[in-house]
Amino acid sequence: MSFLNGTKIAVIGGGSWATALIKILCEQNNVQIRWWLRNQKDIEHIRKYHHNPSYLSDVVLQPKKIKVFEKTTDAVKGADYVILAVPAAFIEEALQDLSVKHLQGKRIVSAIKGMIPGQNILITDWASERFGIELKDTCVIAGPCHAEEVALEKQSYLSIASTECPAAEDFAKLMTCRYVAANPLDDLYGVEYAAIMKNIIALACGITHGLGYGDNFQAVLVSNAMQEIGNLVTALDKRERNLSSSAYLGDLLVTAYSQFSRNRLFGNMIGRGYSVKVAQLEMKMIAEGYYATKSIYEINKLYHVNLPITHAVYRILYEEQAPGMVMDDLKKVLK
Ligand SMILES: NC(=O)c1ccc[n+]([C@@H]2O[C@H](COP(=O)([O-])OP(=O)(O)OC[C@H]3O[C@@H](n4cnc5c(N)ncnc54)[C@H](O)[C@@H]3O)[C@@H](O)[C@H]2O)c1
Ligand SMILES: O=P(O)(O)OC[C@H](O)CO
Residue 22 has pLDDT above 70, yes or no: yes
Ligand 1 lined by 90 (C-beta under 6 Å): yes
Residue 296 marked in a binding site = no
**Atom of ligand 2 at shortest range from CA of 289:** 3
Residue 6 has pLDDT above 90, yes or no: no
User: Is residue 237 situated within a structural domain?
Assistant: yes
Average pLDDT over residues 81-86: 98
**pLDDT value for 2:** 47
**Atom of ligand 2 at shortest range from CA of 251:** 10
How many angstroms separate the CA atoms of 295 and 114, rounded?
9
DSSP of 247-272, one letter per residue? IIIIHHHHHHH-TT-HHHHHHHHHHT
- Same domain membership, residue 212 and residue 150: no
Give the Å distance between the CA of 287 and the centre of ligand 1: 8
User: Is residue 1 situated within a structural domain?
Assistant: no
Q: What is the pLDDT of residues 200-212, one digit of tens each?
A: 999 999 999 999 9
Task: Provide the β-strand partners of residue 10.
Answer: 34, 82
CB-CB contact of 194 with 203 (8 Å): no
Average pLDDT over residues 279-291: 94
Residue 4 has pLDDT above 60, yes or no: no
Average pLDDT over residues 281-308: 96
When divided into structural domains, the chain yields a total of: 2
**pLDDT value for 233:** 98
**pLDDT value for 1:** 47
Ligand 1 lined by 266 (C-beta under 6 Å): no
- Same domain membership, residue 259 and residue 205: yes
**Which residues carry out catalysis?**
198
Ligand 1 lined by 143 (C-beta under 6 Å): no
User: Is residue 2 situated within a structural domain?
Assistant: no
User: Is residue 308 situated within a structural domain?
Assistant: yes
Residue 3 has pLDDT above 70, yes or no: no
Q: Which of 129, 164, 186 is the last residue of a domain?
A: 186
Residue 5 has pLDDT above 70, yes or no: no
**Atom of ligand 2 at shortest range from CA of 144:** 10
- Same domain membership, residue 100 and residue 75: yes
Mean pLDDT, the chain, rounded, equals: 96
- Same domain membership, residue 155 and residue 41: yes
Q: Which of 165, 186, 207 is the last residue of a domain?
A: 186
Residue 268 has pLDDT above 60, yes or no: yes
Q: Choose among 206, 195, 202: nearest CA to 251.
A: 195
Give the Å distance between the CA of 94 and the centre of ligand 1: 12
Residue 280 has pLDDT above 80, yes or no: yes
Residue 41 marked in a binding site = no
Give the Å distance between the CA of 77 and the centre of ligand 2: 30
Residue 251 marked in a binding site = yes
DSSP of 110-172, one letter per residue? E---SEETTTTEEHHHHHHHHHT--GGGEEEEESS--HHHHHTT--EEEEEE-SSHHHHHHHH
Q: Which of 186, 221, 250 is the last residue of a domain?
A: 186
Residue 79 has pLDDT above 80, yes or no: yes
**Atom of ligand 1 at shortest range from CA of 17:** 16
Q: What is the pLDDT of residues 132-191, one digit of tens each?
A: 999 999 999 999 999 999 999 999 999 999 998 888 999 999 999 999 999 999 999 999
Q: Which residues of 32-44 are buried (b: 16+ CB within 10 A; e: fewer)?
A: bbbbbbeeeebbe
- Same domain membership, residue 179 and residue 108: yes
The residue range of the domain holding 141 is 7-186
- Same domain membership, residue 72 and residue 163: yes
- Same domain membership, residue 230 and residue 120: no
**pLDDT value for 71:** 98
- Same domain membership, residue 48 and residue 124: yes
CATH number at residue 211: 1.10.1040.10
Residue 258 has pLDDT above 60, yes or no: yes
CATH number at residue 107: 3.40.50.720
Residues in the ligand 2 pocket, defined by CB under 6 Å: 113, 144-146, 199, 202, 251, 254-255, 258, 261-263
Measured from the alpha carbon of residue 91, the closest ligand is 1
ipTM of the complex: 0.97
Residue 288 marked in a binding site = yes
**pLDDT value for 167:** 80
